[in-house]
Amino acid sequence: MDLAVVGTVAFDAIETPFGKTDKILGGAGTFIGLAAGKLGVDAGIVSVVGGDFPEEYIDLLLKQGVDTAGIKVIADGKTFFWAGRYHNDMNARDTLVTELNVLADFDPVVPGQYLDCKYLMLGNLTPQIQKKVIEQLPVRPNLIVMDTMNYWMDTAWNDLMEVIAMVDVLTINDEEARQLSGEYSLVKAARKIIQMGPKYVVIKKGEHGALLFSSTKVFFAPALPLEEVFDPTGAGDTFAGGFIGYLAKTDDTSFENMKRAIIYGSAMASFTVEKFGTAGLLGMSNPDLYDRIRLFAELVQFDIDRVD
């Protein structure tokens, strides 16, 4: 298998200034897996759902080429449920409901056919679960990418630091990078995070784009200026899935290729935010994606001309 993903597979209920949804398909593992599947990557998800999880959602993942053997179904349990509300500033949101349900006792088991994965994506989950997945792999993957959030900094600092030291790339948002490092400057924050173990840090700035740092290099990808951000749910996970999906598909972890992977992730996330839940990503065709990648290139491309 090219890529194993551990992450939530969930129900989301979303309110934005543009409308609201009942329970729809969501979760970090879902968005990451679908984004990688869209790129033709042989990917599988390690997760857990309840007996209430519809067969049609499993079929939807399978149809996109995403293996679901690693999604354990707890027949008498309920699927993780999150409800949230966005306001005009789509960078912030209120959580209305968090029902962990079967996620509370999630004990990840990596199926045999995932054990030779060359790429591993650790979606945002407790660091203990992320670590358990790494430890089940008999051979270390080429590249391990980890997403996390401030909640684990507040509640599981030591576990978090242990897992961060085991990965190659950490993806994190700007405020969380500041919290993790104690540095306001993102340049200094990235340097400190790299000292914690990862060779690369991707700092996600939402509508302000994303920065990729190595110990000596930096790359910036803008977010596409959109008419409307309809629903940002899953944008960060789509970005991560596009990022590691591109790396897995091309099997090239050079800094130059990571730059392209950042652009792929950004472009795919720009589809996710256009509709509720997974609809924007699912509706994206390959020509749509390449058109948008060309827009990214046009957005930032310039010639240098000296005046002296």
Binding site for a copy of itself (CB under 8 A): 39-40, 88-89, 184-188, 205, 208-209, 211, 218-222, 225-229, 246, 249-250, 256-257, 259-260, 262-264, 286, 290, 293-294, 297, 299-308
Closest distance between a copy of itself and the C-beta of residue 76, in Å?
Answer: 41
Q: 6 or 203, CB closer to a copy of itself? A: 203
> What gap in Å lies between CA 74 and CA 143, rounded to an integer?
31
- Cβ neighbours around 175 below 10 Å, total: 13
Q: 26 or 33, CB closer to a copy of itself? A: 33
Closest distance between a copy of itself and the C-beta of residue 32, in Å?
Answer: 17
- φ, ψ for residue 274, nearest 5 deg: -80, -20
> What gap in Å lies between CA 7 and CA 142, rounded to an integer?
19
Q: 39 or 146, CB closer to a copy of itself? A: 39
Closest distance between a copy of itself and the C-beta of residue 211, in Å?
Answer: 6
Closest distance between a copy of itself and the C-beta of residue 232, in Å?
Answer: 13
Q: 97 or 307, CB closer to a copy of itself? A: 307
Assigned token pair, 252: 């090239």
Assigned token pair, 248: 């897995």
3-class state of residue 20 by DSSP: strand
How many alpha carbons fall within 13 Å on the CB side of residue 164?
A: 24
Residues 6+ apart with CB under 8 A from 162: 127, 131
Q: 26 or 236, CB closer to a copy of itself? A: 236
Burial state string for 255-282 with b = 16 or more CB within 10 A and e = fewer than 16: eeebebbbbbbbbbbbbbbbebbbbbbb
Q: 47 or 272, CB closer to a copy of itself? A: 272
Assigned token pair, 166: 């085991």
Q: 72 or 205, CB closer to a copy of itself? A: 205
> What gap in Å lies between CA 135 and CA 138, rounded to an integer?
8
Closest distance between a copy of itself and the C-beta of residue 40, in Å?
Answer: 7
Distances (CA, A) of 202 to 89, 178, 212: 22, 13, 5
For 170-218, give the secondary structure using H, E and C: EEEEHHHHHHHHCCCCHHHHHHHHHHCCCCEEEEECHHHCEEEECCCCE
Closest distance between a copy of itself and the C-beta of residue 303, in Å?
Answer: 7
Closest distance between a copy of itself and the C-beta of residue 77, in Å?
Answer: 37
Closest distance between a copy of itself and the C-beta of residue 275, in Å?
Answer: 16
Q: 234 or 242, CB closer to a copy of itself? A: 242
3-class state of residue 300 by DSSP: helix
